[in-house]
Amino acid sequence: MTPITEDFIRDDYIQSLLGSVVSDSQLQDVIDKSMAKQPLTIEECAVLINAGAPDQVEKIKGAARQLKRDVYGNRIVLFAPLYIGNYCQNDCLYCGFRKSNKDAIRRTLTHDEIRNEVEAIEDMGHKRLILVYGEAYSADFIADTVRVVYDYKKGHGEIRRVNINAAPMSIDDYKIVKEAHIGTFQIFQETYHKETYAHVHPGGTRKGDYLWRLHGLGRAMEAGIDDVGIGALYGLYDWRFETIGLVAHARHLQKHYGVGPHTISFPRLQPASGVDIDPKWLVSDDEFTRLVAILRLSVPYTGMIMTCRESPEVRRAILGFGVSQIDAGTRLEIGGYSEGKLHQDLDREQFSLGDGRSLDQVCRQLMKDGYIPSFCTACYRLGRTGEAFMEYAIPGFIHQFCTPNALTTLQEYLLDYGSPETREVGENLIASEVEKLDEGRAKVKAIEDLRQIRQENARDMYS
């Protein structure tokens, strides 16, 4: 297949979509399409963005809440990021890892140090990681570190899913990484606005090439990687433009590769070592809530990730508008999990962390708020990835598998790692959620799996 290199982000056209007045009937038509679980066009996404009257915004938020429940139920998938190394060949103006930051303390974990980190993360109860690399590491190095992570197990602790956040690669290099059995490969465009992109990514670096990065995930899919994740760093340019850019990217992937993004991330710009933040485009909490709801309605089938960049209060307030994945117990410093550092040192980290709670604290709060913390990785190990996943996700069937699997992985967590208080809350939640399952084979299997986990010390039960 000849690599696709077209520039599908048309800056002038996107700008022309912004600012129109939206009637209530226009808005309802777009919401109706989204509630039918159909992806929106960028023009329809713009209708949601331009619908700024208070009652219209509330209607968008209400629809996003309902759609999230319809597609994903009340489960929230949990993961941890693990920073492997912070050497970087780029000079992004907003990043503490940029190569010209002389205050940054550089480090790459050895195999033994990676095992120490994985042990500490498994001791928390995590089952899935995203490995994060400064953009200076080879495909062979990345694949090697993925194997190290998968190979380390302690008691009931094991990492069942390793996702990647790394530099765009060639097709041949993606194939090397794929052989290590990675999950999702994640690349953030950072900003889709070309003038801003050129300003914050100085020339002379690989990241300075807008189109190379824009088509990085297309090359990954051509190399056979089923699941990819896109994202924008909100605060570099107008949030409205970036949201349409994300939707345009999702539609491009679905059009050319038959599969849209497995995840969309929407981190907000945060303070970092040696970085002066221009406040012009910073996104307020109200705007952040709106854009999360708009993304949920625009790309109904995709997982949406909100990270520990945000405070506990913001995360709790926004979860219901479409978020399906969060990290917890996060440490951004290289080696920060095993070395047990509780306070941030920005000279050792990429950006400032907003939520420093433990995994146990996050799980307990989620359950008190009516969510099911999920450590499930079943889809990836049963082949429900790429197009197969979308066949379940787009019509909203995926939660029929995910809710029972979420309950069994939560039961594992409670028995192996949960504090007494968290265990009490969790056992009550599991009992309540089992009662809600539709009668049939899935419910019978879930009950039996839970019994085996509790009474026979079974683990990793899924369907």
Q: Is 2 exposed, middle or buried (0-12, 13-18, 19+ CB in 10 A)?
A: exposed
pLDDT attached to residue 194: 97
CA distance 288 to 284: 6
List all residues 6 or more positions away from 32 whose beta carbon is below 8 Å from its beta carbon.
none
| Residue partners of 347: CB distance under 8 A and separation at least 6 | 96, 103, 104, 105, 273
Query: Coil, strand, or helix at residue 73?
Result: coil
CA distance 187 to 216: 7
- And the tokens for 406? 């979420």
> How far is 72 from 105, CA to CA, in rounded Å?
40
| CB within 8 Å of 186: residues ≥ 6 apart | 130, 163, 164, 165, 228, 229, 230, 231, 263, 265
Query: Which residues fall within 8 angstroms of residue 319, CB to CB, at 6 or more apart?
Result: 76, 306, 326, 366, 369, 371
Q: Which helix (H) or strand (E) holds 56?
A: helix 54-72
- Sorted by sequence, the CB contacts under 8 Å of residue 48 that are 6+ apart come out as 27, 30, 40, 60, 294, 297, 298
Please state, in angstroms and rounded to a whole number, the distance separating the CA atoms of residues 143 and 148. Answer: 9
Return the pLDDT at 366.
98
Please name the fold of domain 74-393. Answer: TIM Barrel (3.20.20)
Domain residue spans in the chain? Answer: 11-67, 74-393, 399-455
> CB atoms < 10 A from the CB of 278, how many?
13
Residue 347's pLDDT is 47
* CA atoms of 309 and 312, how far apart (whole Å): 9
Report the alpha-carbon distance of residue 292 to residue 266 in Å, rounded.
Answer: 8
Per-residue pLDDT of the chain (463 residues; tens, 9 = 90+): 566 788 999 999 999 999 999 999 999 999 999 999 999 999 999 999 999 999 999 999 999 999 999 888 899 999 999 999 999 999 999 988 888 888 888 999 999 999 999 999 999 999 999 999 999 999 999 999 999 999 999 999 999 999 999 999 999 999 999 999 999 999 999 999 999 999 999 988 889 999 999 999 999 999 999 999 999 999 999 999 999 999 999 999 999 999 999 999 999 998 777 777 888 999 999 999 999 999 999 999 899 999 999 999 999 999 999 999 999 999 988 999 998 765 555 445 455 678 999 999 999 999 999 999 999 887 767 666 656 666 655 565 555 668 999 999 999 999 999 999 999 999 999 999 999 998 988 899 999 999 999 999 999 988 7
How far is residue 420's CA from residue 276's CA, in Å, rounded to a whole number? 44
Q: In the chain, how long is the greatest CA-to-CA distance? A: 62
